[in-house]
Amino acid sequence: METKSVVKISDVSKKFRGFELSVPKLEIPKGYATALVGENGAGKTTLLNLMAGIRLDYKGEIRYFDRESKLDETVQERLGYVGPGCYFLPHWTAKQVEELSGMLFDHFHRERFRELCEEMNIPTGLSKEVKNLSDGNKVKLMLAAVLARDTELLLMDEPASPLDPLMRDKLCELIRDYLEQGNGEKSVLFSTHNVADMENVTDYLLIMEHGEIVEQGFVEDLKEKYIMVKGESADAERAKDVLFSMSRSSFGFEGLCLAEHLDRLAGMDIALETPTLSQICVAVLKANTKLTFAK
Amino acid sequence: MVNPFKSYQAFAPFWYRLLICFLVPISLLVIGVKTFLVIPLILLPAIDVMADYWFLGGIQSKNYSGSTFLMTSARGRRVTQSAVIVDLIRRLLSILTVFAGWSVLRLLWVEKETVPAEELMLVILLCYFASTAGTVCSRFFGNIWVNVLAAQVVSNGCIFGYMLLSRIPAALAVDIGLGLLSLLVSVWAVKLATKRVKEGYYDTGI
Amino acid sequence: MKLLQNSGVPIYQQIADQLRAQILEGKLKEGEYLPSIRGLAKDLKISVITTMKAYEQLEAEGLVTAAPGKGFYVNAQDTEMLKEQHLRKVEEALLEAIHAAEVAGMSAEQLQETLAVLLGMDK
């Protein structure tokens, strides 16, 4: 399947105390929704900050869109960023978000902003200061401000975390609509803790651990690369070496396996299933993590 | 390009502009004319410092996430800078309206006498310096009580400052000194307010 | 369209199978456009990659063609191929009947009689 890239990252690295972000090569596919998954502290926020252009001290190159431009005014105009927490001045109201958005960006549509505020039920009264909004409303306000602009790439840092399940569904809908409007020209990258909620909208998956991308791919390809295996306790020991990661109980074992290793499990009484993205993420992260699990 | 007045308008809500740019100066002008010069001297800088909480309150504080939105646009720094500068100009105009206006009105309507030019300059510059310095200090905290405290300090400072400085015979020298201080604090106001939006891109700027 | 999330069959395969059946049964006519890739993904709440893969498989089998900018439309189905499909179905059904007759202990003549009676009833 031919895909173009909307963002090309090469040799990017950034050192912190005790942590290093290192991404030698990464290309975000254009026209799709990419999910960035990882443990806390894996480097998701750092990577998103670099891509959004709000942190500029790093080594390496990040290039955007068809012309592969570096971050400049035109790129920033076409980039929409939703950050963690809330990035507006605390005493602002929705009105000021509207005013400032109009000032800071060329293509901001006030009508659309107001419609979105209504659609998402964001309190817009004059007395409703940003700092007094609930976490969910803060995210919704950032979303409204960003979606009311004409952008080609949305970068969102854990947008679903403060949202209730109903609003998460709405977020998936908004992402779908955005991609549909763009007709292949618009792309979305969001980081998440809970890929299960975003599973129905994810096209491309990035799994990050210790500042590195440890797995990536289109969802269909990953679902073919890995297979969920369930079997009997008796076979658990033999299976342990073949499976990517495994969990055991008194009823048997289950774990993820690379499809190409499936024949090593021949002769065992097993059931096979297509893994969900959640299961893939957990297995890959377990294999790479520094946390310890019961063996 | 970036329209400075629009930038100011975007940062300052309507009620703020109505109050601070019109109602306050005009009221203080009238009050000053009817009573004493010192009354607006106590009130004006205090009001300015208080009101700033709703303008750029906390913009210079540590771990301030409010500037991130501004950083996502190439125009963020310029818009913020314009707003700060227009605000400083607004302060000066407010002060001039109140005090120079006081002088003119006093001359025309009330006692046909007023204060000497140097003393007027002293009041104007003292007021501007106090108002701006107090604001710059309070912007390091996003806390309304800090603004309240700063307003008090500035208010008292103005009175004592006036009493002390007006006794110094070398009035012109005092004026020039205050003028320089005012200039300095204005430059700092602009630099500090835009610092986060300019340098926040680098770890050292945080 | 009914999709089972946890069966062993990949989702794109299920979609392709169900659409193939509809095409071969004539429920989707020649020249008719399949739902858009994104539209179908939205309705089924799955990734657009999955629907794309399903459609690509159908295209590889010659059942649909991609019209750039417009979507996928159903190809004219070879009537010979359709006939063969149906013939095969008949054969399968008959083989099942034969097997069932064996299990029931019916003889070949009894089976043929039953068939004649049923055919007569149908008319």
How many whole angstroms from its chain centre is CA B22? 15
Contact list, C46 vs chain A (CB under 8 Å): 200
Domain for residue A293, yes or no?
A: no
Binning pLDDT at 50, 70 and 90, where does residue A293 land?
Answer: low
> Could you tell me if C112 and C83 lie in one domain?
yes
Of residues A236, A165, A244, A252, the one with CA closest to residue A200:
A165
Domain for residue C15, yes or no?
A: yes
> Could you tell me if C16 and C68 lie in one domain?
yes
Cβ A279 vs Cβ C12: under 8 Å: no
> Could you tell me if C65 and C17 lie in one domain?
yes
For CA atoms C55, C57, C59, C64, the dihedral sign is: negative
Altogether, the residues listed in chain A come to a count of: 295
C111 touches chain A (CB under 8 A): no
> Could you tell me if A69 and A37 lie in one domain?
yes
What ipTM goes with this model?
A: 0.83
> Could you tell me if A14 and A147 lie in one domain?
yes
Task: Count how many domains chain C has.
Answer: 2
| A residues 225..284 contacting B (CB < 8 A) | none
C48 touches chain A (CB under 8 A): yes
> Could you tell me if A86 and A174 lie in one domain?
yes
| Domain with C36 in it | 11-74
B189 touches chain A (CB under 8 A): no
Domain for residue A51, yes or no?
A: yes
> Could you tell me if A137 and A85 lie in one domain?
yes
Task: Calculate how close chain C gets to A204, using CA atoms only, in Å.
Answer: 9
> Could you tell me if A28 and A84 lie in one domain?
yes
Domain finish residue from C42, C57, C74: C74
pLDDT tens per residue, range B153-178: 999 999 898 888 878 877 788 888 88
Nearest CB to A180 within list C9, C38, C52: C38
pLDDT tens per residue, range B84-132: 999 999 999 999 888 888 888 877 776 666 677 778 888 889 999 999 9
> Could you tell me if C28 and C58 lie in one domain?
yes
Q: Please tell me which residue of chain A has the smallest CA distance to C53.
A: A220
pLDDT tens per residue, range A169-180: 899 999 999 998
Residue C18's domain is classified under what CATH number? 1.10.10.10
**Predicted TM-score (pTM) of this structure:** 0.82
> Could you tell me if C67 and C107 lie in one domain?
no
> Could you tell me if C55 and C92 lie in one domain?
no
Domain for residue C2, yes or no?
A: no
| Domain with A256 in it | 222-288
Domain finish residue from A164, A179, A210: A210
Q: What is the C-alpha separation between A294 and B20, in angstroms, rounded?
A: 64
Radius of gyration for the alpha carbons in chain C, expressed in angstroms and rounded: 20
**DSSP H helices in A183-276:** 195-198, 219-225, 236-240
Domain finish residue from A210, A231, A248: A210
Task: Count how many domains chain A has.
Answer: 2
> Could you tell me if C69 and C86 lie in one domain?
no
Domain finish residue from A187, A210, A233: A210
Domain for residue A242, yes or no?
A: yes
> Could you tell me if A22 and A117 lie in one domain?
yes
pLDDT tens per residue, range B175-204: 888 899 999 999 999 999 888 888 878 876
What's the whole-number average pLDDT of chain A? Answer: 87
Q: Please tell me which residue of chain A has the smallest CA distance to C45.
A: A200
Nearest CB to C49 within list A176, A220, A274: A220
pLDDT averaged over consecutive 10-residue blocks of chain C (123 residues)?
Answer: 74 89 81 87 87 90 84 76 76 90 88 87 64
Share above pLDDT 70 across residues of chain A, in percent, rounded to a whole number: 97
Task: Calculate how close chain A gets to B96, using CA atoms only, in Å.
Answer: 29
> Could you tell me if C57 and C23 lie in one domain?
yes
Q: What is the pLDDT of residue B166?
A: 79
Domain for residue A28, yes or no?
A: yes
Radius of gyration for the alpha carbons in chain B, expressed in angstroms and rounded: 18
> Could you tell me if A48 and A113 lie in one domain?
yes
Contacts of residue A32, Cβ cutoff 8 Å, sequence gap at least 6 = A3, A179, A187, A188, A203, A204, A218, C48, C49
| Contact call for A220 and C50, based on CB within 8 A | yes
> Could you tell me if A96 and A234 lie in one domain?
no
Task: Calculate how close chain A gets to B16, using CA atoms only, in Å.
Answer: 12
- Nearest 5°: phi and psi at B63? 55, 40
pLDDT tens per residue, range A269-284: 888 888 888 889 988 8
| Contact call for A85 and B54, based on CB within 8 A | no
Binning pLDDT at 50, 70 and 90, where does residue A295 land?
Answer: very low
